[in-house]
Amino acid sequence: MYHASDPRSALASPETKKKQPVVAFHEEQYAKFYETEPQERDDKGATWYARGQNFIIAYTDAMAGAVLVRKNQPDEYIVILPDADTVLEIATPDETKTVNGYSVTIVPPGESTITVVKAGKVHRMFSSFSQDLAGKCSNASAYINPDPNVPPLELWPEPKDGFRIRSYSLDIPQEQGRFGRIFRCTTFMVNYLDPKIGPRDPRIMSPHHHDDFEQCSLAVQGSFIHHVRWPWTTDSTIWREDRHELCHSPSFTVIPPPSIHTSQAMDPVMSQLIDVFCPPRVDFSLKPGWVLNADEYPMPGEK
């Protein structure tokens, strides 16, 4: 359910398909990095890990000189720098790139090294195929039993010109009818939502649900209440109370299907939320002009 002013109100209805009955719900997940101890710490910074069914988020508060290394990385991962002043150097065996802040960067599989040139906040996003990171997550125990409503992860097609470091500035003007700033790769879709000034109007909310995929919301500035409502099923023993969870920044929230959800900015100043999906969403990908790097990454079935 979207207000008429929301670009998502123009999304096509999903194809009707036979759905498996819901026999269990998976608990929503919250990681409030601002009030919990990191899973890793050294003299160059601290890193917090949290996960969903299909993905892992690593948030690092990094000082200059910090080095983040991945060896034998099985697939592409994402690096987000919300602050314009942050600078990284990202190196693979094939190339080295300087990456400025306020950007989204896709890093190829294999070996890679991130060196922090100018301090800042670094958000990395890995698929659950990065099993070496899964056990580090603060909520690892939540996924001992997988979410029964989320299908196994299937990667999207490889980029047309092969794997390489791809960095995109977020300094992109808003456009009427486009929803946020969306990028995708083989593993993720990231929607860096347009920033909002002031509290969200409670008369213009967007309660909606997803049948079979998770939504991860990263709060990188401001405070949000994540409203979650669970549908009633014929089995009343799995019914749940509504949740209205206040999360400041930086924080991580996973909304499992098929819960009804919407997020409400609360601060009088600017608020910034990033929505993350693993794998990418088909409905957003079908909207012309929404995915800003769609020419680089084909959809499933495309040649």
Region 221-234: mean pLDDT is 96
Give me the amino acid identity at 247. Answer: C
**For 111-149, how does the pLDDT look when each residue is reduced to its tens digit (9 = 90+)?**
999 999 999 999 999 999 999 999 999 999 999 999 999
3-state secondary structure 210-261: CCCCCEEEEEEECCEEEEEECCCCCCHHHCCCCEEEEECCCEEEEECCCCEE
**For 59-109, how does the pLDDT look when each residue is reduced to its tens digit (9 = 90+)?**
999 999 999 999 999 999 999 999 999 999 999 999 999 999 999 999 999
pLDDT band at 12 (very low <50, low <70, confident <90, very high): low
Burial of 22 (0-12, 13-18, 19+ CB in 10 A): middle
Domains detected in the chain: 23-146+157-285 (2.60.120.10)
pLDDT band at 293 (very low <50, low <70, confident <90, very high): very high
Helical H runs in the chain? 131-134, 282-285
Which residues are within 8 A (CB) of 196 and not within 5 positions of it... i.e. 6 or more apart?
222, 265, 270, 271, 272
Please say if the pLDDT value at position 16 is more than 70: no
CA-closest candidate to residue 192, choices 217, 222, 166: 217
